[in-house]
Structure 1
Amino acid sequence: MGIFGSVMHAKGFDYRFTLCFRTITVIGFGSILFHGTLLFQLQHFDGIPMIFYVLVLFYSVNENKKERKFGIWFPITLFLWGFTISTVLIFLGGHYQNKIMRLLEFYIFQGSFFLISICVYIHTFAIVINLKDEKGIRALMTRGTIIFLIGYLGWNIDYHLCKEMNKTSNPQLHAWWHLAASYSSYSISLIVMFDRSKMLRKNPKIKWVYIIFPYVKLSEESERELLMQKVTVED
């Protein structure tokens, strides 16, 4: 979903959303590295990008006006927070053979990610309410939430009934959880992007590829303006 988002939104959108899509892509590759090797140290390759992904979204839902509300120190503070958490996780991960260190790393990561994610989701829900007349936004939020919950249910079944699942034809629910999380994260990013584009009067619309893959399309007028700006810069 990250690669799809990067391709479909390569022009006309803030760089913050490019970071979102690229981070989703990094999380995907990091997850492949960790689950393909089951080396505990490689878990950071998807865990740490997850922290920075929600931090970028947290910045986006709070700084969605034309003018900055919190100034330059807000993104700097968020980056330093992400860097600090990442450093702590890497340090604790270096002592993964110690059960206490391993549990401490787990709860620090889960706690940080969960709290920021809840804040982002609440802000996004408020965006959906404010954009209730916009076609496709509510459907995007509903679909993303349902897919996330189904994936989360699958993860719990796989986690708590691991031995029983291995005795049957394993449906790989954990892998489906990653797909569900990726899709729902992408959906949240689109809603925030749509709100930002509307705030900048770019007349965005939600479009779908094969009724499965959503993306934000700007109006033809906005795209012409972007093209004219590019031509002016080149001249």
Structure 2
Amino acid sequence: MIYSRDFGERVIENLINYSTFCIFCAEACTHCKEGKYGFANRVKGFFKLPDPSLLPVFIEDSVSDYLPKEIPNADIAIVSEIHNDILLELPIILKDSGIKAMIVPQESPARIARPQIEEVCKREGVEIVFPKPFCDLQPQDDKPVIKRFVAEFRIGRPEVRVEADRRGCIAHVEVLRSAPCGSTWFVAKQLVGVEVENRGELYDRISESHHSYPCTASMEKDRELGDTILHRAGYIIRAAVEEGMK
């Protein structure tokens, strides 16, 4: 993973599933994620680059000066919130390290040279997606490496299975696929006890728990979405819960 800000660290910690990472339930913690997964042995490396705001608007020297001297061989690279000029040259550099696919999540409306990057990736034979937000990552048949990543690491657009008791209240929410930041696990636990048919209370609980995790997506309006990316993330988890109740 190549990143520059806190969101990247949160994704890394969720993938590794440190025992001290998810502390959001505080004293009410039941260790719901403990032993469920852990990909420390499959993460080949993570590299933090300077925040784009600390770099020149246009990088005139070699972008290699800002990258690690050696990039480990891997199938896929998650690239989060790095300078646009570095991102534009990254596909060729990553391909030389054997990387076959890139995931470039967009958690803010910051503009990136998406058409140019897609053109470079197409020419180099590197799969690429730009989920906005990261929790909207979905498997695609024409991108087999990314599809396998979603299936094996079980992160992307959330999927849950909701079980209700005889009273019609939520008794358990099984996380089948989590948002990359891990928030789905927290939301799932907070829904226990909510009456299924009381959609007002259900939606409020989803929204409250999603915000308090907290979701770190931008509250700035995104022109492509016509809404904030944080709101988009909230709609995604609500839709996942609705689907999980069918």
| Larger strand fraction of residues | 2
Same fold (TM over 0.5): no
Which is bigger in relative contact order (C-alpha 8 A, separation at least 6)?
A: 1
TM-score, L = length of structure 1: 0.28
Higher helix share: 1
TM-score norm. by structure 2 comes to: 0.27
